[in-house]
Amino acid sequence: MNILIVDDQPSVIASLTSTIDWHAAGIDRVYSASSAILAKSILQTENIQILLTDIEMPVENGLELIRWVRRQKREIECILLTSHADFAYAKQGIELGVMDYVIQPASNASIVASVKKVADKISFQNNSARMHSAGEFSNYEINHAAKHFFKTWPDLQDSENFEALLAEKIRRLNELGCPCREEDSCVFFLTVIREWYALPLPELSCRSRYAEVMQSVFSFANGYTTTYSKDDSHFFTMLFMPSYDDIKDYFEILEEQVKETLSCSIGIFYCPASFRELRSAVRYVTAMEYLEYKNTDNNVTKLYPTAEHRNLDAASQNYRDYYQQIKQYIRDNVAMQITRQAISDHIHISPDYISHIVRTIAECSCKELIVREKMRYARALIQTTSKSIGDIAVECGFDSFAYFSKVYKSIYGISPKSTRK
């Protein structure tokens, strides 16, 4: 695999070509050019798979060079180098199918990581194409495997051995090229094709094309996606990114790219979730009412599994911070008889203000929130340990086993013993 580095500063080219172990990144040969004109000459005569180019260059910049590459119909993956974190550059890069965006000054390790990610993608695509041509798997099998992977995601509330099952899912994601940890979060979303402007594509062809468009959009933000289709107009995707601050901007770009590439309009319904709570997000997004929910003025709609999620999103940062402190105090003192006053003394706000925050976000009283958190902790212990239910009741601050069971059943609809069965 060969790479071409383009930068108008000789010192940058000298550093990148001489101080990096390119072979370790999967690169066989490194070419360099100090301008877009020289780069075009090399691209026309040499077999280049990866283009690493600066944006800000005189006469013709890096974006214009990539635009030329696309007009030549060359299968070259591109990475942009820039000293400015400008979303306008990011948007143009996405439209041109750029794989990554490295902010200068960048360490050699950062540049190698970016190039290796692109090289791995090329190798994976080449291997997938060989396997597909050899009949080792079909588009149908790929789609079925992706659907099964998320349909069988462990449920925090119901799964026995939840921690082990979650660890196995995370391990598998890392094997598939998505570097993530159990404490990370993701976005699960539904894409609905609303209207075709040309002859509709068959389901599996459409899913494959749509997955390619998504990869070009989100890989620019170091995002990873896995998609499966329900039918020819409903596609479900798990998206993992380091940051979700600009997620709506990326969804709007995705909408534009799909319209241009697939000739159709789409609606997106997305739900952020931690990996630990992903199963509830999958159930929520895949619910039938959303599969038919097309009468909305918004093309990008955020979904909330609970009123708490919705209210947290709408609350001020000050409220969110206090609410998290309240819940953390309850979790840290689950065996105690917790009162509003105790929480007030710990986080230094008045008991009435605590009640107001809890009522605004959780839509319940502070006492009810305390009970909910205790029961959530109790349920986790029942499902994941062999402790007796009596000991668990005591560990959650209950002196009476009968009262503990009554409260537990009032929240979950079944007794603690039935939960363990």
CA dist 370 to 124, 162, 357, Å? 49, 24, 14
Cβ 313 vs Cβ 307: under 8 Å: no
- Mean per-residue pLDDT, 193-204: 88
- Helix 340-347 with 366-384: angle, nearest 10 deg: 90
C-beta atoms surrounding 15 within 10 Å: 14
Alpha-carbon 217 to chain mean position: 13
Contact 129, 38 (CB under 8 A): no
Say if residue 293's pLDDT is above 70: no
Count helices and strands in the chain by DSSP H and E runs: 19, 10
Helix (H, G, I), strand (E, B) or coil at 41: helix
Give the pLDDT score at 127: 59
Q: Is the pLDDT of residue 327 over 90?
A: yes
Which has the minimum average pLDDT: 101-110, 130-139, 142-151? 130-139
Per-residue pLDDT for 27 more than 60? yes
Per-position DSSP letters for 301-352, written without gaps between them: EE--SSHHHHHHHHS-HHHHHHHHHHHHHHHHTTTS---HHHHHHHHTS-HH
What is the C-alpha separation between 300 and 303, in angstroms, rounded?
10
Q: In this prediction, what percent of the chain has a pLDDT beyond 70?
A: 90
Confidence of residue 128 (pLDDT cuts 50, 70, 90): low
C-alpha atoms less than 13 angstroms from C-alpha of 83 in its C-beta half-sphere: 6
Mean pLDDT for 143-156 is 82
- What is the pLDDT confidence band of residue 85, given thresholds at 50, 70 and 90? low
Q: Is the predicted pLDDT of residue 176 greater than 90, yes or no?
A: no
| 8 A C-beta contact, residue 390 and residue 352 | no
User: Which pLDDT band, with edges at 50, 70 and 90, does 296 fall under?
Assistant: low
101 or 357, higher pLDDT: 357
Q: How high is the pLDDT of residue 64?
A: 92
